[in-house]
A and B are shown apart, each in its own frame.
Chain A
Amino acid sequence: MSPADTLRFASRAALGYPLRSALMVLAMSIGVAAVVMLTALGDGARRYVVEEFSALGANLLIVLPGRTETGGVNPGSFVSSTPRDLTNDDAAALLRLPLVRRVAPLTVGNSEISVGGRLREVLVVGTSADYLDIRGFKVASGQFLPREDFGRATAVAVIGETIRAELFGNQNAIGRMIRLGDRRLRVIGIMGPAGRGLGMNSDELVLVPVATAQAMFNTNALFRIMVETRGREALAPAQRQLEELLRARREGELDFTVITQDAVLGTFDRILGALTLGVAGIAAISLAVAGILVMNVMLVAVTQRTGEIGLLKALGASARAIRLAFLAEAGLLSLAGALAGFALGHAGAWLIRLLFPALPAWPPDWAVAAAVGTALTTGLLFGVMPARRAAALDPVQALMKR
């Protein structure tokens, strides 16, 4: 029997039992679609986080108070009980390092903002003029925070677009006074739209000079210091210089942590990559289930067509021809399922992107290839046993069954 005839015979057989075939295609397609969709979701999450961090701008070092290093005990952990705060003076000292281009100290807190009776809760970020460039934000109108000593508590604020729209509506906001917590501040600028990153939406922020925020929240401590180095190559030496300087400023104690954007990004990339793989693995279980269904359906097909198999043998079909015909049938049905699942999965990913535009939910190529490949392999693998059973049938017995 020629390969073309085998395929034609198998496809006729598959079409001859539409319900059974449809069921099998459905099971296979659900398995493939699950892999495609879930990996799209996982990879989308990974890309989202990566983009989020990339939005921070390159060549960035972030200094946090406290030692949060994993990986064994270091001498510092015996000495200090409570870490010293990071202060504005620390930030100012860092700015004097030769390899450092920009420094933005950060103090963050929640407060109430009110203008003429309109009131809402906002996230207040106390920082400095460099923050704009470090984060790659844009000012839509007016100006950003003034370049000045980190210790000066100037009574000005830059507000996000959403805040402006809610508080001022169509009126001009620049130059107007707002009440933020217990302070009266003058609005000097409006942030441009869609500046985003690290879970902070610049549309909903109020930015004030760092000393103003510290006075408001009654603290001297900084939440973070963001440091931009002069170029990518300067990242590692700058980190060393920075650590030396800060350590010197705190009597030799290393009670702070410096993280690089790359390290954070790498960690997230790894975690979410593993997550995607795990999700793909879970989805692949549904493919295995589909494979077992393929086997069952094909076994039923063999039982259903026992008479036909006996006849084919009587007409001179070799065992191989019968085995190939049934294997081809399982393969064709799996292929149809894989293609349907591929389409279904892409449709699902499209729906996710439609519902969550922020999430770049595109199935990775490897996942699609793996899903379709696994479906075909599963179908053929689980088709072998029924095909062998068909080929091994005793023709006389098979012909007697009707």
Chain B
Amino acid sequence: MAQIELDGINRSFQLGDSEVHALRDVSLRIEAGEYVAVMGPSGSGKSTLLNLLGLLDRPNAGHYRLEGRDVTTLSADEQAAVRSARIGFVFQSFHLVPRLTAAENVALPLMLAGIPAHERSTRVARALHDFGLEARAHHRPDELSGGQRQRVAIARATIMRPAMLLADEPTGNLDRATGQEVTALLEELNAAGMTLIVVTHDPTMGERARRRVLMEDGAIRQDLRRGVEPA
């Protein structure tokens, strides 16, 4: 049993009279601990796929089994609980809450999960230490550099020790050097066992992934594993 099993997923959007097929009959299996880069031209459905994987969106047709459990039929609050416990998100635009400090941003998932304050602070302190952000703990996002912001966001995404990390163009707003730092950080987390799924336009980042899913017009065009020739 794969960690993620997508079968015949369709997702379309109604735009006025016309229907946009963002995903057409997508089937995909991802094992726990995999490192997958999702690539493809703009509008090919990468973000839509990632949102579906993260239970932020529902397919119009098809089945999504996460760790053996059909999650497409769960209620909104049940899905929220799965997101809280199993899924971490990293966004291109960081999505930090501007009025909260780095430490408070990192603590958000713990707070939402109802973990008591004293336990939160030790876990947050450890996470900030691990990501080299100790000195920035009490800075607000507007006082941080782009790389630091994304590191705070990654610390936040992983503080609940999720099974998988979904990153939508995590280096899209960063310069090359900082982007590579962030990529290395994500790869470290993957090396420690977390499933990593990254949407990226950057071919060099794509090259580093052990598996590349190439999308085109809402469908998976190629599914390349390193060392395995395309079919």
Is A183 at the interface (CB under 8 A from chain B)?
Answer: no
Is B45 at the interface (CB under 8 A from chain A)?
Answer: no
A1-B114, A2-B114 known; A315+B99 contact, CB < 8 A: no
Instruction: Give A166 to B98 CA distance when docked, in angstroms.
Output: 74
Is A52 at the interface (CB under 8 A from chain B)?
Answer: no
Residues of A within 8 A of B93 (CB): 402
Q: Using an 8 Å CB-CB cutoff, how does the interface string of B64-90 with A read, 1 for contact, 0 for none?
A: 000000000000110011011101010
* B56 with A313: CB separation less than 8 A: yes
Q: Which of B80, B99, B108, B112 contacts A13 (CB 8 A)?
A: B99
* B89 with A315: CB separation less than 8 A: yes
How many residues does chain A have at the interface if contact means C-beta atoms less than 8 Å apart?
26
* B112 with A316: CB separation less than 8 A: yes
* B111 with A316: CB separation less than 8 A: no
Residues of B within 8 A of A5 (CB): 111, 114, 117
Instruction: Give A202 to B225 CA distance when docked, in angstroms.
Output: 108
How many residues does chain B have at the interface if contact means C-beta atoms less than 8 Å apart?
30
* B56 with A1: CB separation less than 8 A: no
Q: Which of A12, A310, A396 contacts B100 (CB 8 A)?
A: A12
Instruction: Give A13 to B108 CA distance when docked, in angstroms.
Output: 13
Residues of B within 8 A of A16 (CB): 98-99
Residues of B within 8 A of A317 (CB): 80, 84, 112
Instruction: Give A307 to B114 CA distance when docked, in angstroms.
Output: 22
Residues of B within 8 A of A262 (CB): none
Q: Give residues of chain B (148-204) contacting chain A, Cβ–Cβ below 8 Å.
A: 156, 160
Q: Which of A2, A312, A318, A396 contacts B108 (CB 8 A)?
A: A312
Interface centre among A2, A310, A314, A315 (most CB of B within 10 A): A315
Q: Which of A2, A308, A315 contacts B109 (CB 8 A)?
A: A315
Is B207 at the interface (CB under 8 A from chain A)?
Answer: no
Is B142 at the interface (CB under 8 A from chain A)?
Answer: no
Instruction: Give A60 to B54 CA distance when docked, in angstroms.
Output: 85
Residues of A within 8 A of B99 (CB): 12-13, 15-16
Q: Which of B80, B91, B95, B111 contacts A318 (CB 8 A)?
A: B80
* A308 with B97: CB separation less than 8 A: yes
Find the B residue at minimum CB distance from A13: B99
Q: How far is the CB of A331 from chain B (nearest CB, A)?
A: 19
* A311 with B97: CB separation less than 8 A: yes
* A1 with B76: CB separation less than 8 A: no
A308-B97, A399-B56, A402-B93 known; A9+B111 contact, CB < 8 A: yes
A307-B95, A316-B80, A318-B80 known; A396+B51 contact, CB < 8 A: yes
Is A395 at the interface (CB under 8 A from chain B)?
Answer: yes
* B112 with A395: CB separation less than 8 A: no
* A395 with B109: CB separation less than 8 A: no
Q: List 14 A-B contacts (CB under 8 A).
A: A1-B114, A2-B114, A13-B99, A311-B97, A313-B83, A314-B89, A315-B83, A315-B84, A316-B81, A316-B83, A316-B109, A316-B113, A318-B77, A399-B91
Query: Residues of B with Cβ closer than 8 Å to A?
Result: 51, 54, 56-57, 76-77, 80-81, 83-85, 87, 89, 91, 93, 95, 97-100, 108-109, 111-114, 116-117, 156, 160
